[in-house]
Amino acid sequence: MSLLNGKTALIFGVANERSIAWGITRAFHEHGATLGLSYAGEMLERRVKSLAQTIDCNFVEPCDVSSDEAIQALADKTAAAFGQVDILVHSIGFANREELSGPYYRTSREGFRVAMDISVYSFTALARAFQPLLRPGGALLTLTYYGSEKVAPGYNVMGVAKAALEASVRYLAYDLGPQGVRVNAISAGPIRTLAAAGVARFKDMYRHFNKLAPLQQHVGIEDVGSMAVALCSDLSKRVTGEVVYVDSGYNIVGVPEPPECE
């Protein structure tokens, strides 16, 4: 199928082959999109470039989204390489590790700032820098998590950041709607990626997830990829400002079944 034929997509947040952004990249490639990848730092350059080769993608550029200059430089390179773009995917989140354990009230001022800057503002910053390049019929997409709505122990300042990110999705959707550009988020269930590795509280909740979710299955990056195709293609032409769950139905359960009743 080629739901994205003739569309150009720029994807932020590939770190390795387990990244959600890589699942989205592969799905977009299967649907005929022309792709560009942007990664965070020199340490990732070799890995991301070799992944890009597997899908014949030649546009692979660094961009630290905490820098306005880096974002503008990338927008300039994008304009030179592609002219206009149809799709931007933001698959970036970060908090200092020490903020992801212990009580939320211990969050430092600097830890709060970093989480908000990289996980929230960067999406707005991309919208701002790329707005002149966005073609009508285009779409912006970001990734969020249920910890924005209900407490996920240890997710802490990231939950607060994701709540702000979801609000940003609605404001951006309102602003870009008249230009024919849609803005949505996917709220994914827990996936074992680099950003989840080594977080103790993640492992516990990951292990129980497929017993609690209605579909009783873990979520994979392919599952997020196929929903991303839907949300960035004309299949979802009249959908904007939404948070769509790809979580095996986990979020609809209010009262989980106690383990001894299985």
Binding site for ligand NAD (CB under 6 A): 13-15, 19-21, 40, 64-66, 91-94, 118, 143-145, 188, 190-191, 193-196
Region near ligand 0WE per CB under 6 A, out of 43-51, 81-89, 190-198, 230-238: 190-198
Entry field: residues in the chain: 262
Is 39 catalytic? The answer is: no
Out of ligand NAD, ligand 0WE, none, what residue 100 binds, judged by CB under 5 to 8 A for its kind, is ligand 0WE
**Nearest-angstrom CA–CA distance, 216 and 66:** 38
Identify the active-site residue in 39, 121, 145, 250: 145
- From ligand 0WE, ligand NAD, none, which one binds at residue 15 (CB under 5 to 8 Å depending on kind)? ligand NAD
**CB nearer to ligand NAD: pick between 134 and 195:** 195
Cα 31 to Cα 35, 50, 227, distances in angstroms:
11, 21, 12
- Catalytic annotation present for 155: yes
Tokens encoding 181: 């550009």
CA angle 238, 239, 242 (to 5 degrees): 160
Contacts of 79 (CB under 8 A, 6+ apart): 133
Strands (E), 46-133: 59-62, 85-90
Least distance to ligand 0WE, CB of residue 152, Å: 5
Three-class secondary structure of residue 152 per DSSP: coil
- Closer residue to ligand 0WE (CB): 29 or 162: 162
Beta carbon nearer to ligand NAD, 9 or 21: 21
Decide: is 13 part of the binding site for ligand 0WE (CB under 6 A): no
Which residues in 142-181 contact ligand 0WE (CB under 6 A)?
A: 145, 152, 154-155, 158
Where b means 16+ CB within 10 Å and e means fewer, 31-53 reads bebbbbbbbbeeebeeebeebbe
89 binds ligand 0WE (CB under 6 A): no
Element (H, E) at 38: strand 34-39
- Residues 154-169: b if buried by 16+ CB within 10 A, e if exposed: bbbbbbbbbebbbebb
Report the residue number, 133 or 185, with the smaller CB distance to ligand NAD. 185
Handedness of CA 164, 167, 169, 172 (dihedral sign): negative
Nearer to ligand NAD, 4 or 37 (CB): 37
Instruction: Report the catalytic residues.
Output: 145, 155
Note the residues at the interface with ligand 0WE (CB under 6 A): 93-95, 97, 100, 145, 152, 154-155, 158, 190, 195-196, 199, 201-202, 205
